[in-house]
Structure 1
Amino acid sequence: MTSHAPERPQGRVGGMIAVAAAAAFLATFNETFLNVAFTPIMADFGVDVNTVQWLTTAYLLVAAVFVPVANVLYHRFSTRPLMVAVLAVMVLGSVVGALAPNFTVLLIGRLLQAVGTGLLTPIGMNVTLAVSPREKLGLNMGIMAAMTTLGPSLAIVLSGVLLSFAHWSVLMWVFGLLCLLVLVAAAVVLRNVAELGRPSIDALSFILVAAGLVGVLYGVSTAFSGSLLWAVAAILVGLAALWLFVIRQRRIDNPLLDLRPFQNRSFVLGALMTMLGLVFVFAMNVTIPLFLQGGHDMAPMGASLALAPGILLTVVMGPIAGQLFDRHGGRWSIPLGYLVMAVFVTLVGWVAGTDLIWLFAVLYIPAVLATSFVIGPSQTFALSSLDRETSPHGVTVISAGFQIAGCVGTALAAGFYGAVSAASLGAGAGEFDSLLAGFRAAVLLVVATSIIGVILAVVAYRTRTQAPSEALGHPEYSVQSIMKTDVYALRSGQTVLSALQTFAKRGISGAPILHPDGSLAGFLSDGDVMRYLAATHPSSASIYSFAVGADDDLGQAMSDLGELNVMALATREVLTIDADASITDAVVALSDKNIKKVPVTDGANGDRLVGVVSRSAVNRLAIANYLRSREENLAAAGDPAAAESR
């Protein structure tokens, strides 16, 4: 039973989303912030590379384990104290790590930070979902995606700069200060946005999911650096634990993770697309600095700065990509983003064999910018497929996917890089050629994942197209089920007078205007005409005066309209909606602009007009849904009249 309702964050939406975005940035920023410091840490504590890499691997493993716990805590504790407590844990971990006298204490500090990371990302995403207006969900999720993409990339740049003049422990102090700043902002800005109750954590479920994720991710992480037999065994044990976890979630009353999102194919495909985009980011973030430092003898700061231009531009591109998704959907932008990633990272792999480092950096810019059109939109696509009840559980899955993708992307790319480099060196190749072969192997890996992403995106949007008979019971079904296809349209060469004749003959109040090629040029309504007449023919204060014989100015007015092109009065910036958009999106478009109808365009063919969706069509759908639901409820209660009506 809900014990506390969420507060209405009036006037605070922007600030709350800013805090959520900052939290998402911190969570992913710290995943790679310490990577560039591995060499001095190894020297200070006398550990080898296989030991020091656990500062990243163990961090990602613990973060992934605590992601499912976040949903329980989100619905049990008020948003503000919960966020403040999680950030406090991360500050504590930073202090412990900065003062660590040995490697073990440093690892403990990192694991405390990881607990915070695992909780922070899903809490921040849930806050964004809770406060975002539907029509701005893509924009706000684009901001979140930009921050999660920027985090691990900018961490490498900033750590490289700091290490050029400071001890590695400064990194821990800097991160602790960043966490403290966000903590203060959260304490001031946040309000509770969750439906609170008393959900509890099932201990056995937590143990099973922990064993499952640790087994799988440990196996992937050690497949290239340890015993392949042990890696396979760990993966099998992890898969078995996850299978038992799934069985338990279906049998208990309060599951740690509600599995209903997995019944939605669109959500599953969207989650996979998001993870593939993140694999690209993490894979390149680990292999590019390794190759530039090892193959081209660049200093850590120089190798980091080679990534900086593309990384910084993603901050701008993320919200833009989100806005484009809000307006046009992702039918073409998501697969195109994957394709750009594949093409330009291939060019990066080719130019890596030359001394043109500037060209290497320039070619990487469009590759990393394209991730803005993949990660955020795919995430929005997945979560918008769910209803309000299952959305928090979808957020948990997506957040766990962040950690899993980070671990898998890092482990596979580093594994391919090291294994191929070693094999090439063993075959007699020179050091540079061996490292180049390893880097190109990692490039081939992300090209393959990008191509898979293109395929998934095409399949995902086909999945969203269902039979019209299913639309009545599906709130996220596309507008194709209710739009009017026999649209009366005007041509851009027509006069206003002929347009009025069409309005009168067809009994309509407005119509879209098409270019000769069939694309949308604008929209003309009778209101546009009346405003023109009132301005140019003052004696006719209202066109309605013509209907009662006040025709002194009628002849001149009609003569003017007979010479005036429709585009002179038309609205050129027409609000449109894609044919594959949801009915909910249509409702938002109609209510947001307070208009009667919205032209529907075909996302597969640019701005080609395919129909019009109107308020009346939405009203009829809502009434039909209500009546059907009412009849079903009455029939279930044994009402004979309902049975007869059915």
Structure 2
Amino acid sequence: MIAVAAAAAFLATFNETFLNVALTPIMLDFGVDVSVVQWLATGYLLVAAVFVPVANVLYHRFPTRGLFVAAVALLVVGSVVGALAPSFGVLLTGRLLQAAGTGLLTPIGMNITLAVAPREKLGLAMGVMAAMTTLGPSLAIVVSGALLSAVPWTALLWVFGALSLLVLLTGAVLLRNVAELGRPVLDVLSFVLVAVGLVGLLYGISTAFSGSALTAGVAAVIGVLALVAFVVRQNRVEHPLLDLRPFRSTPFVLGVSMTMLGLFFVFAMNVVIPIFLQSVRGQDPLGASLALAPGILLTVVLGPIVGRLFDRHGGRLMIPAGFAIMAVFASLVGVAAGQDSVLLFAALYVPAVLATALVIGPSQTFALSSLDRESSPHGVTVVATSFQVAGCLGTSLAIGVFNALTTRGVEGGTELLDASVVGFRGAAGLVALVSVLGIVLALAAGRAARAARTLRAAEETTGQARTVVDLMKTDVYALSTEQNVLEALQMFTERGISGAPVLHTDGSLAGFLSDGDVMRYLSAEHPSSTTIYSFATGESADLEDALADLVSLPVVRLATPDVVTVDETASVADAVAVLSDKHLKKVPVVRGEHGEVVGIVSRSAVNRLAISSYLASREGLAAGDGTGATEREPQLV
């Protein structure tokens, strides 16, 4: 399943740059200029970024395999539409269909990895994912350059469609459902706000160097205002599109920021280097793309190795060292741009791109390991959105600086070759400065990780009690008083649960219905069924009558009205006492007496806490220096 998720991550990022080398022949075929054709790249990133937050809602509403197949199907359909496009508008439509699939596919793949990867091997799994996300946009340039030397640009879409179809079939066979399904609601206004926010902000940035400064500024301001409104709404609505709890974790924010800086480097250099080598050094598309190939292939090999090292030693030295190498060799690549040797230029780029393996995967793991299991899916959504934002920022700013400095040099009387070298050095300098910023963030992340570990140790030393809020499941599967018993049984079957609270319309508790309550009713009212298990074997003589009875029977008729609950301020010890004394599997958590249900605590959650605490204590004793990590403790140091 991790292999399928990694293939999905590769597809999603591969397609982001796959058409970049083909923009020139596309312009010739459809008679459009650069300002129009660039939307095949920019529009793709914008639409993908918009659909990422939607993926979290869909991930918890639909079975994993079906959702994965549907997302990949968008890539296949978009490829076919684009390959057969009679006009640029149809080609762009196909490209945006692919972008919607990409926006869904990236977080789905990461969620699958988080769900199935053993915690002690999370660094390795995320290292594989990071290698694929780094390989995708880089290898796309190499492959497309090679293909364009022999076939028309439409063949690129057919090739990608075939790859997508292969991944679709593999996922349909190998994947199983790993998400905890419920009925999350898609808040349409939140979707509109995040769409306007991201499109406005990224459009403003992408046009800042090539269009009207006023238009870019207005678009950016509208985008920022829409994102502010989005954040405010998420804190007020009952069903937010994106849970903002991950942003309360400083390690998470720092980890996401470091991931974005690493991706900024990849996207910026992978678009500027081919342009520079083709327009200035006279390389053909294949020659320009091959200059990137050695570093790309070595990065794929290094990704899983770095993941294993991170699992063992953390990222205290690894991440800042990666940023430092990126800064140094990006600067050296800029210096080599003025030399005649393309081989020297390509050789200096190898350690620069290799260093991204020390940054991207470890930073992702550091960010996500700071979250609990309830917040992890929302953290994945943020990380996946950051991929698209970083890609748009890296591409737009690098090309913008390159073009601006080149144009200024030519207008000042400098030869085009010399002016282009200055433009490339400006872009390389921008990437180097971003890498220096990454060093600063890595050091800050180290301090944040040490502070989190110190706080944890202090809590354990002082014996500070946890509350049930730290342990409860907040995404509660609940029944309404308006549902019937057959609907309840259907939900029990789909969710793999044995009971659920019954809620009034105001969220307060009306009772609790278990499958045992239903079994006792069936045995009393339909004796020939004997037990509910006879329905599974088809041996019940009055199956139809029983089912008809359940359809007309409200859940409140069978639900236990006097439900044992615990208040959200209760300690874990109190919850354990209730579960033990009352012989219960789970108990609802309420806010105040007769208040709304805010969560549910189960025996299995208590067991996991006890086991993880024991293992964490053993790991801490074995490590001695605190390099190990628990589920909620970041792994940087």
**Which of the five TM-score ranges fits, normalised by the shorter chain?**
0.7 to 0.9
CA distance in 1 between counterparts of 2:5 and 2:315 reads 24
Does 2:228 match 1:204? no
Alignment correspondent of 1:446: 431
Q: CA separation in 2, counterparts of 1:596 and 1:35?
A: 49
Tell me the residue number matched to 1:171: 156
Q: In structure 1, what residue type is equivalent to 2:256?
A: A
Q: Residue 62 of structure 2: which of 68, 77, 102 is its match?
A: 77
Q: Which residue in 2 is equivalent to 1:229?
A: 214
Partner of 1:346: 331
- What residue ranges of structure 1 are gaps of 5+ in the alignment? 1-15, 476-582, 604-612, 619-646
Asked if 1:34 corresponds to 2:19, the answer is yes
Residue type of the alignment partner of 1:240: L
- Cα pair distance change 1:368/1:107, threshold 3 Å: same
* 1:127 aligned partner: 112
C-alpha distance after superposition, 1:278-326 (max 9, x if no partner): 0000000110000000110000000000000000111100111111110
Name the structure 1 match of 2:224. Answer: 239
Correspondence list, 1:287-302, <5 A:
287-302=272-287
The secondary structure found in structure 1 opposite 2:216 is: helix
TM-score, with length taken from structure 1: 0.72
Counterpart pick for 1:248 among 188, 210, 233? 233
Structure 2 unpaired stretches of 5+? 461-609, 631-637
Instruction: Output the amino acid matched with 1:422.
Output: T
Once residues 137 and 79 of structure 1 are traced to their aligned partners in structure 2, the CA distance between those partners, rounded to angstroms, is: 20
Matches within 5 A, 1:544-583: none
SS at match of 1:465: helix
Q: Look up the match of 1:600.
A: 624
Q: Root-mean-square deviation (CA), in Å?
A: 2.0
The one-letter amino acid paired with 2:142 is: V
Shift of 1:464: 1.6
Cα-to-partner distance string for 1:469-489 (whole Å, 9 max, x where unaligned):
7316989xxxxxxxxxxxxxx
Q: Which residue is equivalent to 1:430?
A: 415
Asked whether the equivalents of residues 134 and 585 of structure 1 are also in contact (C-alpha less than 8 Å), the reply is no
Letter in 2 for 1:190: L
Distance 1:451 1:235 in 2: 26
State yes or no: 1:110 paired with 2:134.
no
**Which residue is 2:548 aligned to?**
none
Distance 1:121 1:219 in 2: 24
Aligned residue type for 1:110:
R
1:335 aligns with 2:320: yes
Residues 428 and 596 of structure 1: CA distance in aligned 2, closer, same or farther (over 3 Å): closer
The 3-state SS of whatever aligns with 2:110 is helix
364, 376, 391: which one aligns with 1:406: 391
Deviations 1:418-477 (A, max 9, x none): 0000001111111110110110000010001000000000001101222777316989xx
Whole-Å Cα distance in 2 between the matches of residues 18 and 242 of structure 1? 35
Question: Matched residues in 1 for 2:616 and 2:61: separation?
Answer: 35
Secondary structure in 1 matching 2:232: helix
CA, structure 1 residues 361+586, in 2 after alignment: closer, same or farther (shift >3 Å)? farther
Residues 311-350 of structure 1 deviation map (CA, whole Å, 9 limit, x = unaligned): 0111100111111110000011000000000111111111
**Matches of 1:90 and 1:266 in 2, distance apart?**
34
* Aligned equivalents of 1:384, 1:224: Cα separation in 2: 38
| Contact 2:259–2:363, Cα closer than 8 Å, also in 1 | yes
Is the alpha carbon distance of 1:467 and 1:370 closer, same or farther for their aligned partners in structure 2, counting shifts above 3 Å?
closer
CA distance in 2, matches of 1:596, 1:422: 58
- Structure 2 CA distance for aligned equivalents of residues 67 and 162 of structure 1: 30
TM-score using structure 2 length: 0.73
Q: Cα distance 1:377–1:133, how it changes in 2: closer, same or farther (>3 A)?
A: same
Letter in 2 for 1:275: M
**1:600: how far off?**
1.9
Cα offset for 1:106?
0.1
Going from structure 1 to structure 2, the CA distance change for 1:83 and 1:297 (only over 3 Å counts) comes to same
Structure 1 residues 590 and 472, CA gap change in structure 2 (3 angstroms)? closer
CA–CA distance in structure 2, aligned partners of residues 381 and 356 of structure 1? 39
Aligned residues: 481
Identity %: 65
Structure 2 Cα separation of the partners of residues 596 and 433 of structure 1? 57
